[in-house]
Structure 1
């Protein structure tokens, strides 16, 4: 069975482009193409990763022609600003089967901005054409490091399936370890400057890991999409402590992000309620809270293809909306009501 790309996106299903807008006073950023991750730094600046909208160049691919261009990038919205500004632009974006991959995630440390690229498993040295993490100097925005995740997949193929890499999410632990969920690689990876890329866990049942987060106590949470046909209740979130699986939260659907708040609350984004005859069901995404004993509570429902969640210093949650299968320029970041 062929692996599924990050964002679940490479199925030859008919998808109806849909756009649904939240209440105007809840929209923080709009006009995006395919918004994926959002992130707040210590200063309260919001970072928004946009996977772009492909491009007008074409190349052959395993599933047919690939349209590509350099429309992906990272935007920022500083506290008090009314409009976002482009921080890093011109990153590769690829699309076919109405699916888009490109920049997937961002994280900020004291000296660097880390951008995750989800672009395949080609073993080459071009940081803009293979899956990996690009570190940019926080002041100059010059590239200072590149972690080649595509090469790791090509050399190791941890799940013993086809060689495909589309890392979808990353999290930086308090000790500086970077964890990466590779959706197509069906693996959780880690990286440190001393040890390079290491395999933490590979799943051979094709559950499609979509996101990873590290709690304040060091616990690692991994979310899963599940495999085709993406039946309701077949997705899950796993909790790992010291390399051991200690808890599994089941009965979830199409989970694309997991986030652990400072108070220990676990949040998950369910992109859609499932797949119908015409593709992923629009306007059926949800944000849920998961209690320590596995009780799932809907917080927000009827969202159109939500994808990623973040929390500001005041505890307010934000979600990307119209993150896939939507008309170009309809992508948004919305603020959820406090409480």
Structure 2
């Protein structure tokens, strides 16, 4: 018996959590107050964020992609039902202890009741006064047809200038999914992560199960497609989508891609994939759970974010962790910090890990600093 969910889990994984705000969940013990501070070895460096996802460190500042809270609409069919648009996405900068939203008014779509589980700004690269941003969609790219420009910007990679919400599309990832459909299954696109490398940019399409390469003039090519994962369930098996979530360059020059896995989001089923362009992906690290980001340190150790340690479908509180995978990969890994509420993105800097938490919640997201030495 082969039970197929029939839809992607890239956006569904966060949409599954949109009701958390109604459960009265507070940030984990590392960040109970709404001001900056420290507790249990963690320092809270940013608060009050809306669905914060990936981070970038540039020019001595930390930048955070906030997926926003959606708005009053128009609404369209998302991964878990109607999702409503609003220009509420943002980029927050933290510099010299000061937190500022340096870009507001970016495209966003979220649960109309809670503003949680949003799609919109998911990753960013900042160079000087300009930024490039991956704008998630988590739906069939055809849902954008006939919609206002803000919705049509979802599912793209775009660029703009700090201080302005004006965007120019660099590449239409959703359009590529509609034309090419790299994994050959149902149409779904959700560009969620970026990696500039060698004059080109790699994009992770969590909905399309693919790693894409952007050319200098907006062209897109498929670098890798990730296989589905078969997991046993009572009465049969589920053929889960891979759901890649982030990409980093390793010390060997290869690309490494993290994996969330699709429904039912089982514990220990996620992997880190090693990608050499022109070759099939191979597993580098295994036994992980619902991974959303990864980063290498200078000695080749890999730090990985698990958005929940018990799996997204578990009834337990959605607490995740940062784990360390030793150089060489494999199934062994060590928990660096657990008990984090919905952690998502990670950036390493001067012996510390900066991690977004509350990643599927409106006005409850944070960035925490975790000392690694």
Q: Please, what TM-score do these two structures have when normalized by structure 1? A: 0.88
Deviations 1:255-297 (A, max 9, x none): 01111223322111000023477x5643520101111142211
1:35 and 2:52 aligned: yes
Aligned to 1:18: 25
Task: Output one character per residue of 1:144-191: Cα deviation in whole Å (capped at 9) or x when no partner.
Answer: 552111110111111122211011111111x12211111111111111
Q: Compute the displacement of 1:216 (Å).
A: 4.6
1:216–1:203: structure 2 CA closer, same or farther, 3 Å change rule?
Answer: closer
Aligned pair 1:284/2:331, yes or no?
Answer: no
Q: Which runs of 5+ in 2 are unaligned?
A: 1-5, 32-36, 229-240
Q: Which of these residues, 309, 321, 345, is aligned with residue 273 of structure 1?
A: 309
What are the ranges of 5 or more consecutive residues in structure 1 without an aligned counterpart? none
Aligned to 1:332: 366
TM-superposed CA distance for 1:65, in Å, is 2.6
Moved more, 116-125 or 246-255: 116-125
Q: Secondary structure at the match of 1:101?
A: coil
In structure 2, the partner of 1:301 is 338
**Which stretch shows the higher mean deviation, 146-155 or 191-200?**
191-200
Quote the Cα distance in structure 2 between the aligned partners of 1:262 and 1:49: 25
Shift of 1:137: 4.3
Q: Is the 8 A contact 2:183 2:208 kept in 1?
A: yes
Cα deviation for residue 330 of structure 1 reads 1.4
Give the C-alpha shift of residue 126 in structure 1. 4.0
CA distance in 2, matches of 1:53, 1:178: 27
Structure 1 CA distance, aligned partners of 2:206 and 2:334?
26
Deviations 1:201-226, CA, capped at 9 Å, x for gaps: 12352111111112354210001111
* Contact 1:19 1:322 (C-alpha < 8 Å) held by counterparts: no
2:199 maps to 176
For the residues of structure 2 that align with 1:6 and 1:61, how far apart are their CA atoms?
12
Specify which of 65, 68, 73 is matched with residue 52 of structure 1.
Answer: 68
Residue 65 of structure 1 aligns to a residue in which SS? strand
Preserved contact between residue 58 and residue 65 of structure 1 (Cα < 8 Å): no
CA deviations 1:43-84 (Å, max 9, x no partner) are: 211101111112122424154332221111111122x2x332
Q: Deviations over 1:79-138 (max 9, x none)?
A: x2x332222211121123952111100012367311110024247694753311112246
Residue of structure 2 in register with 1:90 after alignment: 105
For the 8 Å contact 2:193–2:203, the answer to whether it is kept is: yes
Shift of 1:7: 6.8
TM-score, normalised by the number of residues in structure 2? 0.81
Equivalent in the alignment of 1:133? 157
C-alpha change, 1:276 and 1:187, in structure 2 (3 Å) is closer
Match of 2:178, SS state, is helix
Counterpart in the other structure of 1:116? 134
Matches of 2:18 and 2:82, distance apart in 1: 16
Alignment-derived partner of residue 8 in structure 2: 3
Q: Supply the distance in 2 between the matched residues of 1:335 and 1:181 (Cα, whole angstroms).
A: 25
Greater alpha carbon shift after TM alignment, 97-106 vs 56-65: 56-65
Q: Report whether the alignment pairs 1:77 with 2:94.
A: yes
- Do 2:258 and 2:291's aligned partners in 1 also have CA atoms closer than 8 Å? yes
In the aligned structure 1, how far is the partner of 2:46 from the partner of 2:90? 15
Aligned-pair distance for 1:12?
A: 8.8
- Asked if structure 2 preserves the Cα contact closer than 8 Å seen for 1:53 and 1:93, the reply is yes
Indicate if the aligned counterparts of 2:51 and 2:358 stay in contact, CA closer than 8 A.
yes
Quick one: distance in 2 between partners of 1:301 and 1:186? Answer: 28
Return the match for 1:192 from 215, 218, 222: 215
User: SS where residue 74 of structure 1 aligns?
Assistant: strand
Counterpart Cα distance in 1 of 2:118 and 2:167: 24
Closer, same or farther: CA 218–139 of 1 in aligned 2, 3 Å:
farther
